[in-house]
Amino acid sequence: MKKRIVVVEDFNTSRQIIKKTLEAMGYQVEEAIDGREATRFFDGSNIDLVISDYNMPNMDGGALVEYIRAKEKYKYIPIFMLSTETSIDKQNRAREAKITAWIKKPFEVTEFKKLVEKVLA
């Protein structure tokens, strides 16, 4: 069965790039434009990875992670957080926020694919 990835990103271009990249890798991709919209996917169905932007309207990445980790089924799924932030400070805070990895935007596709493949291996 295809692994299922939820991509949350308010900027359409970025979301499409990520989606296309993942689909080309053979994954099933669900799209959401912000954290709030993303919540509908966490309905008990199987999700293998969440890739989310940090800065988004309505519900940001931090709040989304909190939401996901509060659900028993999704407590331990990998989450990648996208951000243009590079400061260690912010990254550490996110580590406390329980995510798998920060991905700095813009990212290199090969690097991005490597991360996804690794975490889903």
Partner 1 sequence: MDDIVKGFIEEVKELLLQLEDDLITLENNPGNPEIVNNIFRVMHTLKGSAGMVGYKNIQDLTHEFENTYEQIREGKLQVNSDIIDITLKAKDLILVMLAGEADDSAAERLIQLLADKAAVTGKSNIKRVSGTSTQLRVSNHLYVILFSPDKGIFERGLNPDKTVDELKASGETHVILHEKKKSWEKQKAEKICATVWEVYLKTSLAMTEVEDIFLFYDKDEYSIFEMSREQLQIDPFLSEKLESLYKHKIAPEQQLRDCIDQLPDDEPVQNLPAEQPDASLAELKSTDTSRIETDSKVNVSSQKLDELMNLVSELVTITGTVEVHAEKHNDLKLNNALENIAKLTKKFRDNALDLRLVPIGTLLGKFKRQIRDLSRDLGKKVNMLIEGQDIEIDKTILKSIESPLQHIIRNSIDHGLEPKEERLAKGKTPEGLLKITAFYSGASVILSVQDDGRGINMERVKECAIKKGYMEKGQDVNKEQLLTFIMEPGFTTSENISMVSGRGVGMDVVRKELNSVGGSIEIFTEENLGTTITMKLPTTLTIIDTLMVNVDETQILIPVMDIEYCFKETNENLFKKDNRYIQYKNSPIPLVSLREQFKYAPSEQNELMVIVINKFDRRYAITADQIIGEHQAVIKPLGDLFVNQPYFSGGSIMIDGKLAFILDTNFLFNHITKI
| Phi then psi dihedrals of residue 86, to 5 deg | -120, -10
Q: Chain-centre distance of CA 78, in angstroms? A: 8
Spatial separation of the C-alpha atoms in residues 65 and 60, rounded to whole Å: 9
Whole-angstrom Cα distance, residue 116 to residue 86? 20
Shorter beta-carbon distance to partner 1: residue 56 or 81? 81
Q: Closer to partner 1 by CB, 58 or 70: give it.
A: 70
Tell me the closest approach of the beta carbon of residue 43 to partner 1, in angstroms: 19
Residue 89 phi, psi (nearest 5): -50, -50
Residues binding partner 1 (CB under 8 A): 13, 16-17, 20-21, 23-25, 49, 69, 75-79, 95, 98-101, 108-110, 113-115, 118-119, 121
Supply the minimum distance, in Å, between the C-beta of residue 38 and partner 1.
16
Nearer to partner 1, 58 or 73 (CB): 73
**What would the DSSP string read from start to end of 17-49?**
HHHHHHHHTT-EEEEESSHHHHGGG-SSS---E
Q: Which is nearer to partner 1, 24 or 58 (CB)?
A: 24
Q: How far is the CB of 15 from partner 1 (least distance, A)?
A: 10
> In angstroms, what is the minimal distance from the CB of 51 to partner 1?
11
